[in-house]
Amino acid sequence: MVQAEQAGSAVWTVPNVVSMVRLALVPVFGVLIFSGQDVWALVVLAVSGASDWLDGYLARRLDQVTRLGQMLDPAADRLFILVTLIGLTWRDVVPLWVVVAVVARDVMLACLMPTLARLGYGTLEVSFVGKAGTFALLYAFPLLLLAERSGTLGDVALVTGWAFTWWGIGLYWWAGLQYVAQTRRLTLADRERREGVS
């Protein structure tokens, strides 16, 4: 689905403020993870994950779904994923191909934006599969950080973290291909409509 037409245009709503705080935490998290302060990085990541659920819940509960919120939420998720992956790659916790796999999918979606804009649509609504992929990746990161510790906790975190990583990447790409198919359907429908008028 394309973003809902009935979404409001307000800026300073409670869910939007929560999303803005989460965006503000991205550079804080980046500094923490690059400087090796893993405990505080995990705290910030946990707060971010909780706020990701909270802003969506509040938007629905308070009837404050806005177009800005629909953009801020996935933007904050993608920034956290990108900054975390770069930090973990820089520290040799994850290989470079993980970053490439995630970024390539987002580049693919960015290439859809001119087509959607030409058709008069906004951004595509985040799908359940896409949200599940994002959650899986965000769960994977603290586990991969914990995997740096020695002992049983580190071993369990390593296996679980990589399981979430693989699931996350798979779901992330599955959702991406769904968005491509959706854009194609919108393009074909627009073409049929114009041919019907002419």
Q: What is the pLDDT of residues 23-42, one digit of tens each?
A: 888 899 889 888 888 888 88
Give the residue among 79, 141, 88 at the shortest CA–CA distance from 106. 79
> Which residue type is seen at 34?
F
Residue 28 covered by a domain = yes
What does the pLDDT profile of the chain (198 residues) look like in tens digits? 444 444 556 667 877 788 888 888 889 988 988 888 888 888 888 788 777 777 777 777 877 777 776 777 778 888 888 888 898 899 888 999 999 999 999 999 989 989 888 888 767 777 889 889 988 988 888 888 888 888 898 899 999 999 999 999 999 999 999 999 999 999 998 888 887 765
In a domain? residue 123: yes
The CATH number for 85's domain is 1.20.120.1760
User: Which residue's structure tokens are 């920034």?
Assistant: 79
> Is 7 a member of any domain?
no
Count of structural domains, the chain = 1
127: containing domain: 14-192
Q: Helix count (H) and strand count (E) of the chain?
A: 7, 0
Query: Does residue 198 lie within any of the structural domains?
Result: no
Residue-wise pLDDT tens digits, 88-104? 899 888 999 999 999 99
For residue 74, is it within any domain? yes
User: What is the rounded distance in angstroms from the CA atom of residue 192 to the CA atom of residue 10?
Assistant: 35
b/e 103-115 (16+ beta carbons within 10 angstroms → b)? eebeeebeebeee
* Structural domain includes residue 143: yes
The pTM of this model reads 0.78
* 6 occurs within a structural domain: no
Minimal CA–CA distance to 20: which of 83, 66, 89, 85? 66
Residue 50 in any domain: the answer is yes
Contact between residue 106 and residue 133 where contact means Cβ atoms under 8 Å apart:
no
